[in-house]
Structure 1
């Protein structure tokens, strides 16, 4: 039975602008996605029929709320495949703004293409992924990309944002729908902000370039959850060159250019919060 093992990486948003609300209820955004080496692990195998799913967490089930199962069903509808068995080891926290579920779905799409020798192009996988979730297309190629539309319009950047990434995830789950809902009055009175794609004619981005970037979700998340805002302030105080909420949270991350400082900051936050030192990939 053919088996494929794949790492399913997390992402952070280095800056996130909410541009406007669309007629379909989604929001147009502009963001820089940076893939990092914090990851889940998937083992995907062929089986006779259906989709079997198991994991090391009790909040994921073999049902239609599971993005891995949804990814399989999309592939089954499009291609002549039989069944798969998915074993997922979760390390990325849920509801944290790190894109774990979307990354898992993208990993399943790529795995099915591999074990069934479908040779589906990245462009087709991106199109399929866009029907599953807004962040899924990014994870098909990963690395460093500007995301626009609802996140599915992607522009690759030439260089990743280097440094030591300290990922801090407090024991809080932020409802993304709630976070977007708080922007209604703001967007009604806002002028259209600059998109990140307008800033990078050379497609190169580094710590000096990003230091003034902000995540619009901070304006609604930090007042409601001041403990999350406090983490960002502490990261700067501990020597981070850049710090931000990722997605709608609850994860806050800092990028450091000094190994000793990131290790000291890690000791400051752990074990009070889930903390990881990661790198861009």
Structure 2
């Protein structure tokens, strides 16, 4: 059985304060994009997990695909499977690739073994894997609160037929460090109000609180955003804690391959 775990971006990301459990309360809009890894699983004599594509610079046992299998194995005594993950989505980039892989593993195993898990049950398992994982069970534009697990689907008709240019400069920004550097402020305007406006009015209103931290350390990100605007983006920003940048366009920008010759990038149509 094969599935295609997709990426996401954050349209705005506001950090509202630290919680007693050590996490932070956030407000963000998760938006899925069809940049996908490839995950295959088949029944086997013994469990195995292999990868190809982009190099995963982390111990295999920490991979969320394996953790998802182990999580369901505890409750359902699953038989062994052989899994192969082909990585396309850059790691540690704010695109949610690892979280998506874990969530899609849960859904794949649910179908493969006819477990009969409801979406609500899958959401519960996904949250045990990580704060971003439940979104990929929903996998539709959502306003998210809490630590990211409290989600409400929303409609974003203004993004219909828009194009997204995704630029990943390959810079690693440590999430714990980024949170430690944050200066938590009251937002000038709530995300819900911002995204109700046309995207060409989002500039300076749709804020990712981590941009200030990331841009101060990596001036290259400022240059990428400026280039996206010069190329005609109606909005440009950073997703997650970085370092991936994205631009939203009415039509495909000319010369983007020349503008970002050494960067991971892709351009695609909105799936809204």
Q: TM-score, normalised by structure 1?
A: 0.88
Please say if 1:280 is aligned against 2:270: yes
User: For 1:58-93, what per-residue CA distance to the aligned partner results, in whole angstroms no more than 9, with x for missing partners?
Assistant: 436674311111111111112242122211111111
Structure 1 runs of 4+ aligned residues shifted over 6 Å read none
How many residues in Structure 1 have an aligned counterpart in Structure 2?
267
- C-alpha spacing 1:239/1:83, structure 2 compared with 1 (3 Å): same
CA contact (8 A) 2:15 2:209 kept: yes
Please say if 1:207 is aligned against 2:199: yes
Please say if 1:86 is aligned against 2:83: yes
Quick one: distance in 2 between partners of 1:228 and 1:193? 23
CA contact (8 A) 1:174 1:250 kept: yes
Q: 1:196 aligns with which of 191, 198, 211?
A: 191
Q: In the alignment, what sits opposite 2:227?
A: 234
- Partner of 2:70, secondary structure, is helix
- C-alpha spacing 1:193/1:122, structure 2 compared with 1 (3 Å): farther
Q: In the alignment, what sits opposite 2:171?
A: 172
Q: In the alignment, what sits opposite 2:62?
A: 65
Q: CA deviation at 1:271?
A: 2.2
- C-alpha spacing 1:206/1:9, structure 2 compared with 1 (3 Å): farther
Q: CA deviation at 1:204?
A: 6.4
Quick one: distance in 2 between partners of 1:270 and 1:45? 39
Quick one: distance in 1 between partners of 2:64 and 2:241? 19
Q: In the alignment, what sits opposite 1:8?
A: 5
CA contact (8 A) 2:4 2:37 kept: yes
Give the unaligned 5+ runs of structure 2: none
Q: TM-score, normalised by structure 2?
A: 0.91
Q: 2:118 aligns with which of 107, 118, 121?
A: 121
Quick one: distance in 2 between partners of 1:206 and 1:34? 16
Quick one: distance in 2 between partners of 1:14 and 1:44? 32
CA contact (8 A) 2:17 2:26 kept: yes
CA contact (8 A) 1:169 1:250 kept: yes
User: For 1:113-151, what per-residue CA distance to the aligned partner results, in whole angstroms no more than 9, with x for missing partners?
Assistant: 010011211111111111111110000121211111111
Quick one: distance in 2 between partners of 1:180 and 1:151? 15
- Partner of 1:64, secondary structure, is helix
Quick one: distance in 2 between partners of 1:143 and 1:209? 23
